[in-house]
Amino acid sequence: MKIGVSSQNFRTITGHAGKGRRFFVYSVDKDGNFAETDRLDFPKEMAMHNMNPNDPHPLDQLDVLVTGSCGAGFYHKLAARNVQVIATSETDPVTAVKTLLEGKPLPPAEPHDHGTGGHHHH
């Protein structure tokens, strides 16, 4: 299993994953041990925001992507690539991966003003 974490500074979990171009990749073995195995650093035309949905993308290798925030469009684009997106307010990549592997929920992301998530019916 591979878990990606969006991190524009390669230190903490950052948001706006659709425009983000830097990701840690952690690989998990069958015993639940994990290690950072890759760092992805894309040119801006490779940001998911700019990608043709039919083109292969390095994020396709991931099973899960952890980010600080993302819009619904990004969520759906990755779902179409069989990648589960989890937005969280956790800022430490290793803590986030450990929490996931323990089967615990990550703290939810801070809501932002794009109104992602629930649809409000008036």
**Residue whose C-alpha is closest to residue 7's, from 96, 100, 110, 71:** 96
DSSP structural state of residue 21: -
Q: CB neighbours of 44 closer than 8 A, spacing ≥ 6?
A: 21, 50
Predicted confidence at residue 79, as pLDDT, reads 94
pTM: 0.87
Predicted confidence at residue 112, as pLDDT, reads 62
Predicted confidence at residue 119, as pLDDT, reads 45
For the chain, list the domains and their CATH numbers. 2-101 (3.30.420.130)
CA angle (94, 79, 51) in 5-degree steps: 95
Query: Cβ(3)–Cβ(63) under 8 Å?
Result: yes
Instruction: List pLDDT tens digits, range 45-102.
Output: 898 888 888 889 999 999 999 999 988 889 999 999 999 999 999 999 999 999 999 9
